[in-house]
Structure 1
Amino acid sequence: MKVRYLSLFLCSILGATASSATLAAHTTWTVWESMTADDVAGTANGKVILGSESIQISYQGEVNAGGHLNGVSNYWLPLSTYTSTEISNAPTYEGRIDFWGGTDNINTLTFSKAVENPVMAIVSLGQISNPSSFVFDKPFVLLNQGPGLFGGSQYSLTQPASNILYGEEGNGIIQFIGTYTSISWSNPLLERGVGWTVGFITVPISNPALLMLSGLALINLIASKLNRRHIAMA
Structure 2
Amino acid sequence: PFRLQDQPAEPAHLREAGGATASRMSREGGEECTLLGGAFALCVQGFLVAGAVGTLLFKRWQERPRRRWTIWFMDSSKQGFAMGLQHLANLLLAMLFSEAASTKAGACIWYITNVFIATVCGLVIVASYMKLQALAVERFGWQWLRSGEYGDPPAWSVWLAQMLVWSAVCCVEKLLTAAVVIMPLRGLIDELIAPLERPLKPYPKAELVLVMV
- Write 1 or 2 for the structure with the bigger share of helix: 2
- Write 1 or 2 for the structure with the bigger share of strand: 1
TM-score class normalised by the smaller sequence: under 0.3
TM-score by length of 1: 0.23
Instruction: Name the larger-Rg structure.
Output: 2
Q: Which has the higher contact order (CA 8 A, sep 6+)?
A: 2
